A and B are shown apart, each in its own frame.
Chain A
Amino acid sequence: MNKSIDILLKSLENQQIIKHIVCPSARLLLSKSEMSLPNPIDIIDERSAGYVATGLCAESEQPVVIWCADNDSYRNLTSALTEAYYRKLPILVVALSCDNVINQTMNPNDTIRYYVNNTLYNRAGTEQDIHKAIDYLFAEVKGPVYLSLGSYQEPVVQAENAVSDQIDVTAITKIIPSSACVHIGKDFVCECSHLCEVVLRNDHCTKDGNLSMLIGSSIVDRNKLHVGIFSAEELAYDLNMFGIRHVNGNIVIFSVIIDEQNPTILDVAKRFGWDCCHINITERDCVIEKLVISDKPLYIEIVL
């Protein structure tokens, strides 16, 4: 279905619609299908991507396109779409079909103004649909437009959760005390049979909220060490949770560095009173003694 994307891009270009904001969920799908967008603006959080779009659209007075996977991550756009709805901003939301497609047949009335193809069976995105979507962007009454590409049975790209993409963090889990409650982020696999309580988030088709869920769990059982193993991408979604007043000394976060790491998360955590350190996986034994409940939460950036 890359053909649909090609047709859409050409049609948009013909109308001089050239601003493309790409959500993380869409970036992954597009890279796997070896598709690229012209001058994309990559934003690390769907919610902010939506608001970047509203700001860009309002200022430029031109239609803007947001690319997102048509799964749970799409729902993070809803607040920005509400903003766009009430301010009558012409934003085209391109929802790319994937595994775990959400049901788009009923939504709050004040988010998308024009649905092109949101029933269960018409979400392939034909050439006719594409032209319709673009026409809506120039309608008398402007507002967000929804266009789905790729059918339910034949997604645009392969499943985004290929096991081979996941990173083995057994080297970390093996030093965690067995009595701890451990939350493992979406991108990771591990051997954790010695741990009595493990929560895997690989069924969560977006990367948001994992730190928040760990904090929630830690509140219920304050006498148990709660350890999270997450990527920086995941932690970025929940950045403000480092500063919540309900964070206690029974929390340890391992931020697994995959590519380059922006030091900002560590700086923020430190500012909010976390104990912080940056180590290499070969140095992991030096943190074993820190994996206990103390009076401060602990943030460890770890390079594999």
Chain B
Amino acid sequence: MNQLEKQYDDLRYKTGCYYTNERNKQIIIFLLKKYGIKRVVVSPGATNFALVGSMQHDSFFEMYSCVDERAAAYMAIGIAEKSNEPVVLSCTGATASRNYMAALTYAYKRNVPILVITSSLSLASVGHLQAQVTDRAHSPIDMIYKSYQFDNIKDGEDEWSQTVRCNEALSTLLDVRKPVLINVCTTYSLDFSVKELPPARYIPTVSSAENRPKLPIGNICIFIGSHSKLTDLQIQAIDTFCKNHNAIVLCDHTSGYNGKYKVNMSIVLSQEKYLSKHRKVNLLIHLGEISGDYYTFLGISPKEVWRVNPDGAYVDFFRKLKNVFKMKESKFFSMYADDNINTSQTFLANCRKESEGFFNTLPEVPFSNIWIAKELSSKLPQNSQIHFGILNSLRSWDFFNLPDGVESACNVGGFGIDGCVSSLIGAALSNPDKLFFGVVGDLAFYYDSNIILNKNLPQNIRLIVVNNGRGIEFRNYCHPASRALADGADTYVAAAGHFGDQVNSAIVDLCKSANIKYYRVANKDCFLEVENDFLKNNLDSAIIIEAETTPQNENLALMIYRQFAKNFDSKILHFGVKYPFLLKLIRKIK
């Protein structure tokens, strides 16, 4: 260093300050250190003083000063190219960051890893003529690879989100090696009294076997959200892993897995008066995409989560994410196949026993989607496929296993009710040699009903429309809308009274025009009469059954299924439901 550099380098430690109390910056600084990113080029200003003031106290950071932001960005490129390491840029508000743009365009093209940390007043202050506040929400796509907005942290949700996103930002920077932007807000806090940096969850990306973390000891479960049908290679890799690590697979009818280690815990974990001791796992390995299996994913309690997906996205669904494996699932499981082998399979046995115990003692329920699911699920013919409407149909049928050789699907990608029947018909068109079943509610059917007007509809479809005259989801006793509005939810939230109000349903007319066989049933006996025809394995006879149920029976069926087991003092439970935070505490202790 020259004398001037030395003089200012000494001065940096003479502020009498430690770290800022602004949590969003604490998270960034903590994680920069964890990821080993130490070089920082700082341009002068007020809005970044909390970040800079904290960094300069910490000798980990090698800091440089550059007045002109354009030059600072180019200087950072020079440093990064020479050192082959990422460099941080820090600037204030106003037009400061705009001067980075030409250099960042160059860095983007040359794959130079620059982390741009711009500082700002709160995001809400944009557009209100506040001095020095510019709009940093959008950046050119050939300049910034990914950008993040870190507002001032107000609650745990903000902190969690920024922690995960900061990890994602730094991992992306190291992986893709293109400029990444974090726009972090400040309240201009003068409090620099924090001597020890509070930790932030460190969530690295793992992309090769060499730096893989150790598998935790204890119960392991693999949770598969929606997934395309797993290949033989994937199934084999999963099964070998489970065999060697006392693991189970939790999944539902959208997961594409029906292998040896599957356990259906939906009913068990749906119980409102029973807590399964198998809900706690040391490690949950998260595969696949969006899941509609609410009872399972809400009931399971992992200590830590590893996400495995070739896209490497930072998906923290369970809020316990610890590692992201950016690789194919089969590679992940093969990688760990022989680590710390434990072939006891006690976890599988115990969960199976518990689950089967429930299935063997299922109580009777009235005529409802759940009853239909129980009645039909085991009888679906081999080599067929069944589609479920969002959401009540999926939930009802997720309680039950399907026979081997029966595939299943549901529009959980967008999670809307607007195309369930069309998707079923699309699938049927793709494979005329297979029978395609479907179960949808009345709203989902009518939303999409004009699909029936199309010419040349495939004949290999068998659809059940469970018509309870409304969006029954919102009238389920446990749904917040039902709890708040009771029957009043029918007016708008559940949209009752449409489509002939059950009495004058036009499904019969639609079927007639499309030459589809139509049945209307309103009780169990009537359903059983048409069941054989519905299940008959011929590919040239489309059938639609309109099953008329009532919201009362749908509710009763669900309540019976969710409350028939008990291992909890019901008074405590009642108290806990009234004061949910206490229930949470009690469950934690248990």
> Contact: B102 with A219, CB < 8 Å?
no
Contact B98 A82 (CB under 8 A): yes
A216 touches B75 (CB 8 A): yes
A107, B138: Cβ atoms closer than 8 Å: yes
Contact A246-B102, Cβ < 8 Å, known A82-B134, A109-B137, A221-B82: no
Interface size on A, residues (CB 8 A): 51
- Given the interface contacts A82-B95, A108-B139, A220-B82, does A206 sit within 8 Å of B102 by beta carbon? yes
Q: Which of B70-127 contact A (CB under 8 A)?
A: 70-83, 95, 98-99, 101-103, 105-106, 109-110
Q: Does A286 contact B (CB under 8 A)?
A: no
Q: Cβ of B2: which chain A residues have Cβ within 8 Å of it? A: 245, 247-249, 295
Q: Which chain A residues lie closer than 8 Å to B41 at the CB level?
A: 216
Please report the C-alpha to C-alpha distance between residue A221 and residue B82 in the assembled complex, in whole angstroms.
8
- In the complex, the chain B residue whose C-beta lies closest to that of A245 is B4
Give chain A residues whose Cβ lies under 8 Å from the Cβ of B73.
209, 212
Cβ of B8 under 8 Å from chain A? yes
Q: Are A79 and B98 in contact (CB under 8 A)?
A: yes
Q: Residue A16 at the B interface, CB < 8 A?
A: no
B74 and A213 contacting across the interface, CB-CB below 8 Å: yes
Q: Does chain B have a CB within 8 A of A204?
A: yes
Which residues of chain B are within 8 angstroms of A220 by Cβ–Cβ distance?
78-79, 82-83
Interchain CB contact under 8 A, A108 and B65: no
B66 to A208, Cβ gap below 8 A?
A: no
Q: Which residues of A contact B (CB under 8 A)?
A: 46-47, 72-73, 75-76, 78-79, 82-83, 86, 102-111, 181, 199, 203-204, 206, 208-222, 238, 240-241, 244-249, 295
For the complex, what is the distance from the CA of A109 to the CA of B137, rounded to whole Å?
8
Task: Verify B64–A240 contact, CB threshold 8 A.
Answer: no
Q: Are A213 and B140 also in contact (CB < 8 A) when A238-B71, A240-B67, A245-B8 are?
A: no
| Known contacts A103-B142, A108-B138, A214 near B78 by CB under 8 Å | yes
How far does the alpha carbon of A105 sit from the alpha carbon of B8 in the complex, in Å? 43
In-complex Cβ contact of A208 among B65, B70, B141 (8 A) = B70
Q: List 30 A-B contacts (CB under 8 A).
A: A72-B106, A73-B102, A75-B102, A76-B99, A78-B95, A78-B101, A79-B98, A79-B99, A82-B134, A103-B141, A104-B140, A107-B140, A108-B98, A108-B136, A108-B138, A109-B135, A109-B137, A111-B98, A212-B66, A215-B78, A216-B77, A216-B79, A216-B81, A217-B78, A218-B78, A219-B64, A219-B78, A220-B78, A220-B82, A246-B66
Tell me, yes or no, whether B143 is within 8 Å of chain A by CB. yes
In residues 127-167 of chain B, which contact A (Cβ within 8 Å)? 129, 134-143
Contact surface of B with A, Cβ cutoff 8 Å = 1-2, 4-5, 8, 41, 64-68, 70-83, 95, 98-99, 101-103, 105-106, 109-110, 129, 134-143
> Is the CB–CB distance between B105 and A75 below 8 Å?
yes
Instruction: Give Cα distance in the complex from A259 to B41, angstroms.
Output: 35
With A72-B102, A240-B68, A245-B2 in contact, is A106–B76 under 8 Å at CB? no
> What B residues does A240 contact at CB under 8 A?
67-68, 71
Shortest Cβ distance from residue A242 to the other chain B in the assembled complex, whole angstroms:
11
Q: Out of B1, B70, B81, B134, which one reaches A108, CB within 8 Å? A: B134
Partner pick for A216 among B70, B76, B142, CB 8 A cutoff: B76
Residues of B within 8 A of A221 (CB): 82
Contact between A246 and B65, CB atoms less than 8 A apart: yes
Contact of B74 among A83, A209, A218, A247 (CB under 8 A): A209
- Residue picked from B4, B76, B102, B105, most chain A C-beta under 10 Å: B102
Report the separation of the CA atoms of residues A222 and B64 in the bound assembly, to the nearest whole angstrom.
14
Q: Which residues of A contact B65 (CB under 8 A)?
A: 244-246
Q: Which of A208, A212, A240 has the most CB of B within 10 A?
A: A212
A211–B1 CA distance with the chains assembled, in angstroms = 19
Complex: how many Å from CA A214 to CA B134? 31
What is the chain B residue whose CB lies nearest that of A105? B141
Q: Which residue of B lies closest to A221 (CB)?
A: B82
CB-CB under 8 A for A199 and B64, given A106-B138, A204-B106, A249-B2: no
Q: Which residues of A contact B102 (CB under 8 A)?
A: 46, 72-73, 75-76, 206, 208-209
The docked-state distance in angstroms from the alpha carbon of A241 to that of B75 is: 10
Q: Which residue of A lies closest to B4 (CB)?
A: A245
Q: Check if B103 sits within 8 Å of A209, measured CB to CB.
A: yes
Chain A CB within 10 A, most for which of B64, B75, B80:
B75
